[in-house]
Structure 1
Amino acid sequence: MRWNIRPPFARVAMRRSALRYADHHWDVVPGAWLDGGRFSCERPGCPTSSCHPAVEGWERQASADPSRVEQWWSQRAHAVLLATGRAFDVLEVPNTLGGRVLAAARLHAGVLGPGRFQVRGPVAATPLGRWMFLVRPGDPLRPELETSLDVVRHGHGSWVPAPPTRLPEGAVRWVIAPEEVAWSLPDSYAVQRMIVDSLFTRLGSMPHLPRQLSTARRAA
């Protein structure tokens, strides 16, 4: 089904998801809506055709206030964007690496059990092959990852598209939904350690790979 065939249903789905995130104190931002193969917004002369915030000064306007969220999604099927560097940061990696990290996290949880060493948390995936690990905010990238072109940290001043936002290539989806982990977030350095281990295990040294298409965007 094409995204623009039944816009009222798309808008309701986006609004419900945005309200669910806001209910858990995750600041949301209305994104441009998909119009055919590009994104549109009401900002006059906006040159951005890819996914982007639909409001000026999005960093100031990002909010978890239910009434504001209701208003934003009352007319349009806005993409649902989550502001990072607040309730959480995001570690974005290619899906092949993400799969290895997730397998390691599941093994880690199975051995140690739940508690402060828990490393499983929400994980989303884009149709372009990028996985996004939501982690506790504030920690920079480890030195081993700073030169890795395939690892992106989204912190303060950034955002990521959240399910069920639809991109021209398909929908953003949850690999591990927040409900599966009771909306808990793992320690950033614990997840980064697993990323480092996965990189070294597969390649034997730190890779310098061409960056795949990242979700990283900034407001114009």
Structure 2
Amino acid sequence: MVGAGVAKSRWRGAFSPPRPGHVTSRRDRKWPLAAMAELKKLESRLQELERRLYGEGGAGTGAKAKPQCTDAVVKVQVSLGNVAGKRERIKTLYKKIDDLMKYLDPLYMDRIVIPDAMKLELILAEEPFIHSQVTLLESVSKLQPFLESEHIKAVPNYSSKLQSLTQIQIQEQDQCTAVTEDTRKLLDEYNKMTLLLSKQFVQWEEALSKLEAAKQVKPLRD
């Protein structure tokens, strides 16, 4: 990996194996292989993370070198530590983060222990509602035999007949709709015919009046 940074050097210093030519001590001879495997696994994860961030070209070298992930994380951690160390309010906030998260939890109210006296007051406040529910439950219990009667139990046996009746009703409803539409059309035709006849009678009346006036014939009175 290109330039692992300060944090990686610290990790390597903590788990570095004995160098070649070094006189091994009892501590060096007990070098844990599991720790070395964990270090390699951590390095591979860092390499994969940097590859995803910077692409296949890596972080670059020289003037074009990009900051390593571990270096950036260490800098952020140091900056946060400095800020927290200089301001008492932030220190106090850090100390109360656990309490803050606990109070912001939506289930916090459910975990609060309610005193027995308050529980009693809540029950007494709901006394009318509880009595009404008891009355309804008693009514349901009395009506339970009707729900378990043979007539109700036989309802599934009539499902097929009910389905056929439903189909017949749908067909009759469609027929009624068609009859209604035909009736509406006939009424429209009747209204049009009545209007035309009324206009024709008016024209005939006017023509008859003109003929009577021309012949000077007095109209007959009823």
Q: What TM-score, normalized to structure 2? A: 0.13
Q: What TM-score, normalized to structure 1? A: 0.13
Greater relative CO, 1 or 2 (CA 8 Å, sep 6+): 1
Q: Which structure has greater strand proportion?
A: 1
Q: Which structure has greater helix proportion?
A: 2
